[in-house]
Amino acid sequence: MGIILFFISISELLLPSGIQILKDENCPIQKVSVGIELSPSAKINPIGRSLFERNGYNYFYLKNLDSIAILTRFINLLSQNKIFSKSNENGPTNLLRLTLNDLNYNYSPIISITISITGEMDEKKIIDMLNIIPDTMISNFNTYYQLKRVIGKHIYSGRENFIANVSPPPFSDDFCAFLVFLKLMNNRNLKIKFSPETAPSPFLIYASKDKIKPIFTKPQKNEIKRAAREVSNWIETFSLNKNRSRLIILTYAMGIGENTFKDWLKELKHLEDIEIQKIWEKYLIDGFVASLDPSLRKRIKKLFPESYINLE
């Protein structure tokens, strides 16, 4: 993925299957974390649903991974191809499908798997287990990491109501304010799908006839402060030593250094209202992609007569 590691104390191993193994040699706590990124056209089969906790639009962590036994079960199911499969979803409600036009060439449902090890874990045993996973299990879906935000106002018909776009890269000047913006939308009781781990990634804000107004209401000072405080708490939680193995995966997948978290905490204390309003206009109002029911589509068209309409 062309990501440079910023950790002096972390060693990295890339297995033939494409799985990344990261090891923090200085952390004393024994822990293993597994982060899995799926193609938006992928689905988790019933046998695998209980294994994961979702962390965004298409990113998952293996639940309660405190032992090699749990990791072994996951690897066995993965090597037998019993956890993930491709979805038959071909409709316009998939933002990536709209952005990239076609995902059919991406045969594997898995974009990446990252294993993080801290403490005195048996690294060789873990490597030996992971080596049973075939090379074809990981996709070479590199175009996913070259997504650009959708510019212009586009309206699509579909089976779901949502407003969406592609996020800024985590290392950009916009990203910290963007996290606050998403939290603010979440606090307005809007359902959001977003993966903070990935490179520029789709985000979806689900809307309805009753909930369309909050999306187009300018962010207010008091709710910006609340959202910024909650994002600060999230960053501090991830920075705790007990979550060290998860933090390694998070920062590695985002392509940022650990010090970036500290910089974000400083930035959040001095975040100006105008910065959030700029994000609101740039990533939502000035470039949303919407899949809406007919009556809502008419309301959006009335709000933005210059929008593009695709009813195919």
pLDDT score at 22? 92
pLDDT score at 88? 66
What separation, in Å, do the N-terminal and C-terminal C-alpha atoms of the chain show?
A: 34
Can you give the residue ranges of every domain in the chain? 10-146, 154-233+259-310
- Determine the Cα–Cα distance for residues 121 and 280; give it in Å rounded to an integer: 44
The confidence band for 115, taking pLDDT boundaries of 50, 70 and 90, is: very high
pLDDT score at 274? 92
The tokens describing 83, both together, are: 């956890």
Grouping H, G, I as helix, E, B as strand and the rest as coil, residue 34 is strand
52 with 62: CB under 8 angstroms? yes
Beta-strand ranges (E) seen in the chain are: 10-14, 20-24, 31-38, 42-44, 52-54, 59-62, 84-86, 110-118, 154-157, 162-166, 192-193, 202-206, 289-292, 308-310
Mean pLDDT of 95-101: 66
What CA–CA distances, in Å, run from 150 to 104, 183, 225? 21, 21, 28
96 pLDDT above the threshold of 50: yes
The tokens describing 53, both together, are: 């906790």
5 pLDDT above the threshold of 60: no
Residue type at 82 in one-letter notation: K
- Determine the Cα–Cα distance for residues 163 and 154; give it in Å rounded to an integer: 10
Q: pLDDT (tens digit, 9 = 90+) per residue, 213-230?
A: 788 888 989 999 999 999
Find out if CATH 3.40.50.300 is the number for domain 154-233+259-310: no
pLDDT score at 225? 94
The tokens describing 200, both together, are: 């520029």
Long-range contacts of 124-128 (CB under 8 A, 24+ apart): 125/68, 126/21, 126/32, 126/68, 126/71, 127/13, 127/15, 127/21
> What integer best gives the mean pLDDT of the chain?
82
pLDDT score at 3? 37
Residue type at 88 in one-letter notation: N
Mean pLDDT of 156-169: 84
10 pLDDT above the threshold of 80: no
The confidence band for 2, taking pLDDT boundaries of 50, 70 and 90, is: very low
The more confidently predicted of residues 100 and 158 is: 158
Q: How many other C-beta atoms can be found within 10 angstroms of the C-beta atom of residue 260?
A: 19
Query: For strand 110-118 and strand 20-24, is the pairing parallel, antiparallel, or unpaired?
Result: parallel
Query: Which residue in 285, 288, 162, 291 sits closest to 217, CA to CA?
Result: 285
Mean pLDDT of 269-298: 86
pLDDT score at 247? 85
Q: pLDDT (tens digit, 9 = 90+) per residue, 50-77?
A: 899 888 888 899 987 767 888 888 999 9
8 pLDDT above the threshold of 50: no
184 pLDDT above the threshold of 90: yes
Dihedral, CA atoms, 96, 100, 104, 105, nearest 10 degrees? -120
